[in-house]
Amino acid sequence: MLKNSFRVNDLLMTITVWLSAALVVGAFLWLLSDLTLHGIAKLNWSFLVSAPENAGRDGGIGPILVSTLLILGVALLATIPLGLGTAVYLSEYTSGAMARYIRMSLNVLAGVPSIVFGLFGNAFFCIWLGLGFSILSGGLTLACMMLPIFIRSTEAGLSAVATEWRHGAAALGLTQAAALWHVLLPAAAPAITAGLMLSIGRALAETAALIFTSGYVDRMPDSLSDSGRALSVHIYDLSMNVTGGDQSAYGSALVLIILLVVINNIATSLANRFLSQRITTS
């Protein structure tokens, strides 16, 4: 009787897991099919490289795509070294009250609405630092949003590495820095990649924060100090403020999804290559 009960519970759990996975995949496929159905007609080379015309109804998204990549590049350049350093500090070099306060602060920051980050970025980067509405201001504001997620994910990955690995590295005479580079970071590479992907996903989809920091201008930026419109802001503007801009909005949204998939694959490939190289050289 007890054995049959275990079998029923196991079957129910299996069905629940598969149903949950199917719902997630189904929601994504529904979203992707809707975007593809309405936006595929706009997806061509001219749309990717030409400038928007007639308030975005015609033309393409060339300057907007460049601005988006520049904003994301600034955000990643600020997030990755600072995030890795903070995660290593929390995991390997500190404990007690200080670590608890930092983790609590990161947890709070991870849940702060994006509009608050936008107002902060406008007050601090645009006004106080004098950067104005610029790609630099938008990228640094996105970095502030990405850091809590990236730090906590990276720290969790480092903390999950077995203590025996650290002891083994010490027994082999490796310094703490060498053990971190050759043992701990490669072992935590999947968690680091996951945290980076979550951070990039939030950054690429951000609208409110960028309206207040990187600006609304849809021309080609000449430098990081120029204002630039991100894809998410462009999609919002076409959907809410431009009559007849729905098809261009769908096309821009489809490009945004493709861009996210490409960046995910590149990051995963680089993480796997880093892991294989570290294992080979260790």
Q: What is the mean pLDDT of residues 46-63?
A: 85
User: Which of 36-45, 75-84, 149-158, 196-205 is the most confident on average?
Assistant: 75-84
Read off the pLDDT band of 238 (50, 70, 90).
confident
- Which CATH code of 1.10.579.10, 3.10.20.30, 3.40.50.720, 1.10.3720.10 fits the domain covering 43-281? 1.10.3720.10
Tens of pLDDT, residue by residue over 104-148, are 888 888 888 888 999 999 999 999 998 889 999 999 999 999 999
**Nearest one of 229, 90, 206 to 150, comparing CA atoms:** 90
Q: Burial of 119 by CB count in 10 Å (0-12 exposed, 13-18 middle, 19+ buried)?
A: middle
pLDDT at 256 over 60: yes
Q: Could you give the CA distance from residue 61 to residue 30 in angstroms, rounded to a whole number? A: 25
- Angle between the N-to-C axes of helices 189-204 and 246-281, in degrees from 0 to 180, rounded to the nearest 10: 160
Residue type, position 44, single letter: N
Compute the Cα dihedral for 259, 264, 269, 270 and give only its sign: positive
Higher-pLDDT residue of 168, 282: 168
Question: 74 with 116: CB under 8 angstroms?
Answer: no
For the chain, the domains span 43-281
Sequence-distant (≥ 6) Cβ neighbours of residue 237 within 8 angstroms: 56, 216, 229, 245
Tens of pLDDT, residue by residue over 171-211, are 777 777 777 887 788 888 888 888 888 888 888 888 888 88
